[in-house]
Amino acid sequence: MSTELLQGLPAQVTAQCRVLVLGSMPGALSLQEARYYAHPRNRFWPLMAALCGFDAQLAYAQRLQCLQQSGAGLWDVIGQCERSGSLDASIVRGSEVPNRLPELFADLPQLRAIACNGAAAHRAFQQWIAPALPPLAAALPVLALPSTSPANAAWSLPRLIERWQPLQQWLNAPGPVISPATNGLAG
């Protein structure tokens, strides 16, 4: 299988972001659809829906809006790389170009924590981003969390929710679940 040069997705954050969730590099389907965590077996959206109190079956734009209203934002550590397929292990070492996270942090005055979705995201963050952080950003907690990827099948959704639970201290308290069927509030 040949490698190809891939360009990541843009950051999905607001100035109210308190938790920035960082992946390594979006998978092939996410890049194709220009949507974070687009693979149907990725547990990211059900996990964040459980933590933030929204329906994981909402349309992508609504899920993203609910996530941002809860105080979370999304981006990746790697902005560009060569890779074949979707696995982090297939990234060609030395081809990685990190995203400009230190500059983004300067625009996030409410940022309280960084959550790395998987070991590859955490390693990349420690290698390329942490050394370049200004003192205030360097003092933020960086959580190395288990990956929501289907490749991490050893972790069930309930186990992931339990391990990701510490993020709730920085997120808005879960409220009523927004239902796609009624496009309103459900109890």
Q: What SS3 string covers 29-64?
A: HHHHHCCCCCCCCCCHHHHHHHHHCCCCCCCHHHHH
Environment class of 31 (CB within 10 Å of its CB; exposed 0-12, middle 13-18, buried 19+): middle
Q: Please, are residues 80 and 7 in contact by the beta-carbon 8 Å criterion? A: yes
Tokens of 149: 């990827």
Spatial CB neighbours of 143, under 8 Å, sequence gap ≥ 6: 113, 114, 115, 116, 166, 167
Q: Please, are residues 140 and 111 in contact by the beta-carbon 8 Å criterion? A: yes
Residue 183 appears among annotated catalytic residues: no
Catalytic residue (one of 42, 99, 172, 183): 42
The CA radius of gyration of the chain, in Å to the nearest whole number, is 16
Active site residues: 42
